[in-house]
Amino acid sequence: MRPRKAFASRLALAVALIASGAVAGLVVAGTPAARAARPAAATGDGGGTGSPVGSEVRAVWISNAFLGRAGPGGVVRLLDRLQVANVNVVFPEAVFRGLTLYPGPYQDPRFAAWPEDPLELIAREAGRRGMEVHPWVWVFAGGLGSPGPVLAAHPGWAECPDELGGSGAASGRSLWLSPALPAVRKFLMEEFLSILSRYPVQGIHLDYVRYGDGSCRGVSASAARYRDETGMDAPAAGTSSAAADWQLWQEAQVTAFVRDLALAVRAVSPDLIVSAAVIPEIREARHRVRQNWEHWLVNGWIDFAVPMAYASHLPLLREMLASIEDLGPRRSRIVPGLLVSAGSPEQFLAQIETVRSSPWGGVALFAADYLLDEHFALLQHGPFAAAATIPGRDSSGGFARPHLPDQVIPPRAPPVFATGPAYDRPSRPNLARWARVAVDSSFPGYGPGPLTDGRLNDELEIGRWTKVAWASAEIPQDHWIELAWDNPHPIDRVDMYWARDRDKYRSSREYVVEVWTDLGWQAVFHHLDPDGRSNVARHSASFLPVVTDRLRIRQPAGGGPAGRPDLMWIAEVEVYGGG
């Protein structure tokens, strides 16, 4: 498919401005619209035929894994079903792990054998069915388990040079391009703008537009550039002014890419939509991965933020959404992303209805891979029964975004997290340190190791949940932690340090401390707080001394913390006795 002339000429201008570093100064107001090819009016029976009755994003991610399994015929069948369900946006995964869905030097071999360009097929067939196509692109994540072709060709672009080909690859971790390197940002921008020139799509959807989790083993590319620019070494994490300056500097590297891409896209056509998949809790996004998406939204550099609110149940979803409810009118530009596979189809429907009951901008579903017949039926006859338009999109294909500020609004100061409490601990030895630990189950990614590692819940847990606490599987049954010793000990006290999460402590509303005797498990302490309203960091259970070689903390089914009753979540257990 050849580039459209008007579109290509604006692309050439945008790329030239990128190369010159002038893109940040572009003025896009009044730029003549080069309309992207618009979806045709939907036709067919059973859905997608009625006049739109509302305005909301109804998006579905389509992963490269699904596309690889489905093939061209399966993709067309999926689009037929999405049309019937009145979905109005699809996010096909077009750039991933440094590979591309479409032809080019980095095309994934799975798609090279297709009889036609996969992205061209999707754009054409989705347009015929009245759906917009916003290609889903990985930004700074350049590999998963291995560097990927871009990082392999440009190892100097890595954020963590020491991890290329080392333990980072062997461990299956994501390997990252450095947001701090202008050459990286220029390469990615040109690649993404080329997608918009080659295909009749209506937007672009950014993913992994952030730093990676964790720190590098050696000196990162960002730290090296920070030293070159400021003459200072990157400080350790903390609350000092130097640490705040370093965080703001890293955030600015990511923001520079988002800003420059948005302005370049609008120079091509102001009707193209830029959206980004983001960490749902703003403070966590900033602290953990330097993703200040609130700043992007405030300044209009993204049209929609799509927080990945992948919740296993409804109360957790409500918690995630509550953390961003104070964005006020900007909530209409937030499209919560929901995990289709998190529960039953009925539970999935309840999550959609929860989002749609508040003034968010719509809903995005992750992902087509998990949509079953039951999901399609519930959508078609429930929340998506009538068609809806994209907020801001008019009938001619124009896109009206809110008034943008005349000057850039600076970011807020980096988030400050509450310090943990100081504990009065017994001078007696903590017997738990010598115990063997067993648990009934573990939440994915968690294990019992942190329960007796000597680290309490007074540390910042953001990004380190699995390292500082144990969590049970989130299922409606009894959960327990068992400690066992080679020899019996007199025991008269058990301290439980509850897991910390977003400055709250997740204390169980009911638990029983039990010891093993000749008669089996015998309760020595029972805690019951049906409401669970207190934000309690530690419970200390004292009882008459008992000699035993096994102790268990059991949470009866449904006795978990308020809002998450099927979960048991503890950072540390201490056991004392012997006078």
Q: Go through the domains of the chain in sequence order and give each one's CATH number.
A: 5-389 (3.20.20.80), 431-576 (2.60.120.260)
Measured at the CA of 202, the angle between CA 198 and CA 205, to 5 degrees, comes to 95
State residue 169's pLDDT score.
Answer: 43
Q: What pTM was estimated for this model as a whole?
A: 0.88
State residue 323's pLDDT score.
Answer: 87
pLDDT band at 238 (very low <50, low <70, confident <90, very high): confident
Cα distance between residue 435 and residue 427, in whole Å: 18
State residue 532's pLDDT score.
Answer: 82
Residue 33 is which amino acid? A
Residue 173 is which amino acid? R
State residue 419's pLDDT score.
Answer: 84
Q: What is the pLDDT of residues 200-223, one digit of tens each?
A: 999 999 999 999 988 888 899 999
Is the pLDDT score of 5 beyond 50? no
Q: What is the pLDDT of residues 287-296, one digit of tens each?
A: 999 999 999 9
The neighbour count for residue 213, using CB atoms within 10 Å, is 12
Among 262-271, 349-358, 533-542, the minimum mean pLDDT is found in 533-542
Cα distance between residue 251 and residue 261, in whole Å: 16
State residue 26's pLDDT score.
Answer: 38
Taking alpha carbons only, the member of 57, 55, 47, 51 closest to residue 79 is 47
Cα distance between residue 416 and residue 396, in whole Å: 46
Mean pLDDT (the chain, rounded): 89
Is the pLDDT score of 425 beyond 50? yes
Among 258-272, 290-304, 380-394, 454-468, the minimum mean pLDDT is found in 454-468
The neighbour count for residue 312, using CB atoms within 10 Å, is 19
42-52: average pLDDT: 44
State residue 164's pLDDT score.
Answer: 81
pLDDT band at 316 (very low <50, low <70, confident <90, very high): confident
pLDDT band at 14 (very low <50, low <70, confident <90, very high): low
**Which residue did the predictor score with more confidence, 346 or 578?**
346
Q: What is the pLDDT of residues 82-127, one digit of tens each?
A: 999 999 999 999 999 999 999 999 999 999 999 999 999 999 999 9
From residue 249, alpha-carbon distances to 256, 258, 414 in Å are: 10, 15, 11
Rounded to the nearest angstrom, the gap between the alpha carbon of residue 34 and the centroid of all alpha carbons in its chain is: 33
Strand partners for 573: 496
State residue 312's pLDDT score.
Answer: 83
Cα distance between residue 527 and residue 187, in whole Å: 59
Q: What is the pLDDT of residues 26-42, one digit of tens each?
A: 333 322 233 345 565 54
Cα distance between residue 283 and residue 40, in whole Å: 41
State residue 239's pLDDT score.
Answer: 72
Q: Which residues contact 564 (CB under 8 A, 6 or more apart)?
A: 313, 315, 316, 474, 506
510-516: average pLDDT: 98
Is the pLDDT score of 480 beyond 60? yes
Question: Residue 467: is it exposed, middle or buried by C-beta count within 10 angstroms (0-12/13-18/19+)?
Answer: middle
| Residue 546 φ/ψ, nearest 5 degrees | -140, 140
Is the pLDDT score of 17 beyond 80? no
**Which residue did the predictor score with more confidence, 420 or 251?**
251
pLDDT band at 560 (very low <50, low <70, confident <90, very high): very high
Cβ atoms of residues 524 and 543 within 8 Å: yes
β-bridge pairing 500-501 and 504-505: antiparallel
Taking alpha carbons only, the member of 320, 317, 282 closest to residue 298 is 282
HSE (side-chain half, CA atoms, 13 Å) at 68? 14
Q: What is the pLDDT of residues 123-173, one digit of tens each?
A: 999 999 999 999 999 999 999 888 999 999 999 999 999 888 654 443 457
